[in-house]
């Protein structure tokens, strides 16, 4: 999908207090940005920010960081970041391939992967965010017992992700192929995509994984 260019998007991000500009300088020191030692949860591919901003409001004793690599997507999330009272949420304009430059080993408690690009062609499998190359990065930044929470509408991506995680010795639990008709729905926070897919009657696939 081609993203519509938003005039002045780069400048808006550079001047917004919730967009981190020096994220690599905070590696191992994120507690100084949040001024506390609360656990850190991140969402990779935060889109318009509905999911992560809702979590931040619900859980003031958890710190949240959203990753989004597309400038024209992240600028659309600014409305969900503007609440000055929400001091536990920041966003980074960055590709997750650089995650090891941003976080120290064991610095993150939870990673959310919501409706990631499925990259359906076999030759593009290394770009899928559940490819073992990314799983190795996640393992390094996660705390002992830290976990990945993964949701998708794409059955092929879900099957692929299950296989990758199990093959590379991740323990998978709370697996469902129809989240909204499962025991795991309680406490679920929906993304914009999820609302759309559920409205169309499509099943949502979900799992949690940890080492």
Which are the catalytic amino acids?
117
Beta bridge partners of 208: 149, 173
122 annotated binding-site participant: no
Q: Are 166 and 172 in contact (CB under 8 A)?
A: yes
The span from the CA of 42 to the CA of 63, in Å, is 8
22 annotated binding-site participant: no
12 annotated binding-site participant: no
192 annotated binding-site participant: yes
43 annotated binding-site participant: yes
121 annotated binding-site participant: yes
Name 73's Cβ contacts closer than 8 Å, sequence gap at least 6: 3, 47, 48
Name 50's Cβ contacts closer than 8 Å, sequence gap at least 6: 80, 190, 191, 192
- Which residue reads 């939870």 in tokens? 110
The span from the CA of 90 to the CA of 65, in Å, is 5
104 annotated binding-site participant: no
178 annotated binding-site participant: no
Binding residues for substrate: 121, 153, 191-194
Binding residues for S-adenosyl-L-methionine: 43, 68, 95, 117
Binding residues: 43, 68, 95, 117, 121, 153, 191-194
């Amino acid at each position: 999908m081609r993203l519509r260019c938003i005039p002045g998007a780069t400048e808006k991000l550079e001047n917004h207090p919730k967009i981190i500009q020096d994220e690599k300088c905070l590696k191992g020191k994120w507690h100084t940005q949040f001024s506390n030692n609360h656990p850190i949860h991140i969402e990779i591919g935060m889109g318009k920010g509905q999911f992560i901003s809702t979590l931040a409001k619900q859980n003031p004793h958890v710190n949240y960081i959203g990753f989004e690599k597309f400038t024209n997507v992240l600028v659309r999330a600014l409305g969900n970041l503007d609440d000055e009272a929400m001091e536990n949420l920041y966003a980074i304009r960055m590709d997750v391939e650089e995650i090891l430059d941003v976080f120290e080993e064991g610095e993150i408690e939870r990673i959310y992967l919501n409706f990631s690009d499925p990259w359906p062609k076999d030759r593009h499998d290394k770009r899928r965010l559940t490819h073992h190359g990314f799983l190795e990065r996640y393992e390094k930044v996660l705390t002992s017992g830290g976990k990945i929470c993964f949701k998708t509408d794409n059955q092929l991506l879900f099957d692929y992700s299950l296989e990758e995680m199990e093959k590379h010795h991740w323990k998978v639990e709370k697996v469902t192929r129809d989240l909204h008709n499962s025991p795991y729905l309680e406490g679920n926070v929906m993304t914009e995509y999820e609302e759309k897919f559920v409205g169309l009657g499509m099943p949502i696939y979900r799992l949690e994984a940890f080492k």
